[in-house]
Amino acid sequence: MAKVRGAIVVDTERCKGCELCVGACPTDVIGMAEEVNSKGYHYAYMKNPEACTGCVNCAIICPDGVISVYRVKTT
């Protein structure tokens, strides 16, 4: 049976660090960066990429639509 691996891409310059995606992630993939973007916000990033299933919860809850989710089937 094929296993689904996911990945997210965050537009770090548009992310305002609301952390809604962190709570929405069922596999604890997303964290907040120590660095800040040009607007002074800590932005979301994949702190645990191997755990991502591509469930899309983070992209759905993001109020600014700055998260893109990709899925790849592996064998």
For 72, phi then psi, to 5°, come to: -135, 130
Please say whether the dihedral angle defined by the alpha carbons of residues 8, 37, 19 and 49, taken in this order, is positive or negative. positive
Domain that includes residue 37, residue range: 3-74
Per-residue DSSP letter, 48 = S
Q: What is the block-wise mean pLDDT of the chain (75 residues), using blocks of 10 residues?
A: 87 98 97 97 97 96 97 82
d(CA 67, CA 21): 9
Query: According to the model, what pLDDT value does residue 1 have?
Result: 63
Number of domains within the chain: 1
Which residues sit opposite 25 in a β-bridge?
none
Coil vs helix vs strand at 21 = helix
Query: According to the model, what pLDDT value does residue 3 have?
Result: 80
The answer to pTM > 0.75 is: yes
The domain spanning residue 22 has which CATH number? Answer: 3.30.70.20
Strand residue runs (E) in 1-75: 3-10, 30-36, 42-46, 67-74
